[in-house]
């Protein structure tokens, strides 16, 4: 099933998306995140969806404004594509190769769950940035709480998937990570999710013998293809990532785990690192980014001007006197 959150006639609603694009609203449901917490996993969500398909239909998807399919409880963004690490490390840090430590575990950082955008939303340039980039990813959505999971257990906790665009201010990111803490403002302004949440059962036919989802990924800027890859080129499966995320803590319904950016043009910084120049150039207001993931859908956003940064003083060099 495909679940959408949308705005129609000043009302927010969650619905199942029919094969013909007709939306079938879930009675009394305005938050998919809250629904996931109640249904406790994929079987419960599918049961609610089946009941909606039997009820009166709503508007066509073309008649509504799509919202992010859910407002995440948290967003962990992993980095699981070796090819991406090679290119971006050269571009952002000026260093070749992949750090040996990268192979030890599926590293992630927490990004901003309060800056989530949906399909066709305008994306503001982060304040103070002149080097904006997109990142083509897939997000796994957690549907059941769990802690210290094994990869086998983790499969039962993943309820579905969505397209994930991790917008990145590369100039801010490069500067702030020299402090060895971050990224922070380089990733803080926008993450796009959508257009739908596709339930995990729909993607099982794409699973390869090693447990990876073999989905074609494509990135376009202003209608021109700049990148394509396969999701199965990840170095860890989503189940392994979920198990790692739950180690020593818990994952909860509504958490989103990003795959990390794919290779072969999954972002501009990777291309810049390989080519030694900013070709294609950084994104600017008016540019439209379209990301397509086989079996999930297409996510499109246009860049618009953002606010100017509020000025702050540089850090003071203090005396370090003691009482």
**Which residues have a Cβ under 8 Å from the Cβ of 168 and sit 6 or more positions away?**
132, 133, 134, 135, 183, 186, 187, 267, 269
Overall number of domains in the chain: 2
| Residue 183 confidence class, pLDDT cut points 50, 70, 90 | confident
Tens of pLDDT along 4-57? 999 999 999 999 999 999 999 999 999 999 999 999 999 999 999 999 999 999
Q: Is residue 141 domain-shared with residue 89, that is, in the same domain?
A: yes
Q: What is the pLDDT of residue 60?
A: 98
Q: Is residue 63 domain-shared with residue 102, that is, in the same domain?
A: no
Proportion of the chain above pLDDT 70, given as a percent: 100
Q: Is residue 145 domain-shared with residue 30, that is, in the same domain?
A: no
User: Which tokens go with 293?
Assistant: 């993931």
Q: Is residue 209 domain-shared with residue 281, that is, in the same domain?
A: yes
Residue ranges in the chain assigned as alpha helix (H) = 32-39, 42-53, 82-88, 151-154, 170-176, 200-203, 238-245, 268-275
Q: Tell me, yes or no, whether 310 lies in a domain.
A: no
Closest CA to 160 of 8, 16, 304: 16
Question: Among 67, 86, 119, which residue terminates a domain?
Answer: 67
- Beta partners for 6? 13, 66
Q: Is residue 95 domain-shared with residue 193, that is, in the same domain?
A: yes
Instruction: Reduce the DSSP state of residue 219 to 3 states and report it.
Output: strand
Q: Tell me, yes or no, whether 21 lies in a domain.
A: yes
Q: Is residue 104 domain-shared with residue 161, that is, in the same domain?
A: yes
Q: Tell me, yes or no, whether 26 lies in a domain.
A: yes
Task: Please give the Cα distance from 305 to 287 (Å, whole number).
Answer: 11
Q: Is residue 118 domain-shared with residue 29, that is, in the same domain?
A: no
Question: Over 80: is that where the pLDDT of 313 sits?
Answer: yes
| Residue 182 confidence class, pLDDT cut points 50, 70, 90 | confident
Q: Tell me, yes or no, whether 317 lies in a domain.
A: no
Which backbone phi and psi does 159 adopt, to 5 degrees?
Answer: -95, -25
Closest CA to 166 of 253, 269, 65: 269
Q: Is residue 80 domain-shared with residue 63, that is, in the same domain?
A: no
Q: What is the CATH number of the domain that holds 167?
A: 3.90.850.10
Query: Do 81 and 232 contact (CB within 8 A), yes or no?
Result: no
Q: Tell me, yes or no, whether 286 lies in a domain.
A: yes
Tens of pLDDT along 132-153? 999 999 999 999 999 999 999 9
Q: Tell me, yes or no, whether 321 lies in a domain.
A: no
List the domain range (segments joined by +) for residue 38: 2-67
Q: Is residue 154 domain-shared with residue 249, that is, in the same domain?
A: yes
Q: Tell me, yes or no, whether 315 lies in a domain.
A: no
Question: Among 18, 45, 67, which residue terminates a domain?
Answer: 67
Q: Is residue 79 domain-shared with residue 62, that is, in the same domain?
A: no
Q: Tell me, yes or no, whether 233 lies in a domain.
A: yes
Q: Is residue 195 domain-shared with residue 269, that is, in the same domain?
A: yes
Q: Is residue 216 domain-shared with residue 246, that is, in the same domain?
A: yes
């Amino acid at each position: 099933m495909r679940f959408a959150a949308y705005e129609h006639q000043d009302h927010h609603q969650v619905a199942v998306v029919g094969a013909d694009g007709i939306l079938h609203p879930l009675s009394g449901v305005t938050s998919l995140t809250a629904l996931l917490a109640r249904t406790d996993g994929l079987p419960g969500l599918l049961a609610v969806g089946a009941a909606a398909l039997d009820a009166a239909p709503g508007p066509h998807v073309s008649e509504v404004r799509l919202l992010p399919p859910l407002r995440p409880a948290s967003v962990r963004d992993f980095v699981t594509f070796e090819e991406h690490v090679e290119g971006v490390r050269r571009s952002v840090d000026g260093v070749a190769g992949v750090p040996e430590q990268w192979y030890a575990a599926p590293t992630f950082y927490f990004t901003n769950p309060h800056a989530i955008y949906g399909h066709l939303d305008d994306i503001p340039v982060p304040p103070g940035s002149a080097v904006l980039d997109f990142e083509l990813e897939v997000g796994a959505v957690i549907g059941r709480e769990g802690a210290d999971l094994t990869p086998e257990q983790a499969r039962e906790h993943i309820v579905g998937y969505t397209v994930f665009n991790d917008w990145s201010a590369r100039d801010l990111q490069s500067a702030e990570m020299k402090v060895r803490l971050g990224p922070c403002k380089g990733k803080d302004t926008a993450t796009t999710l959508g257009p739908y949440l596709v339930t995990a059962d729909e993607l099982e036919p794409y699973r390869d013998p090693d447990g990876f989802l073999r989905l074609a990924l494509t990135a376009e800027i202003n209608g021109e293809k700049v990148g394509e890859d396969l999701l199965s080129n990840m170095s860890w499966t989503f189940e392994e990532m979920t198990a790692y995320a739950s180690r020593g803590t818990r994952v909860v319904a509504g958490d989103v785990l990003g795959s990390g950016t794919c290779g072969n043009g999954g972002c501009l910084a990777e291309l810049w690192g390989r080519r030694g120049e900013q070709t294609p150039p950084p994104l600017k207001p008016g540019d439209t980014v379209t990301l397509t993931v086989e079996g999930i859908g297409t996510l499109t956003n246009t860049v618009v001007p953002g606010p100017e940064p509020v000025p702050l003083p540089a850090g003071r060099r203090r005396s370090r006197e003691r009482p």
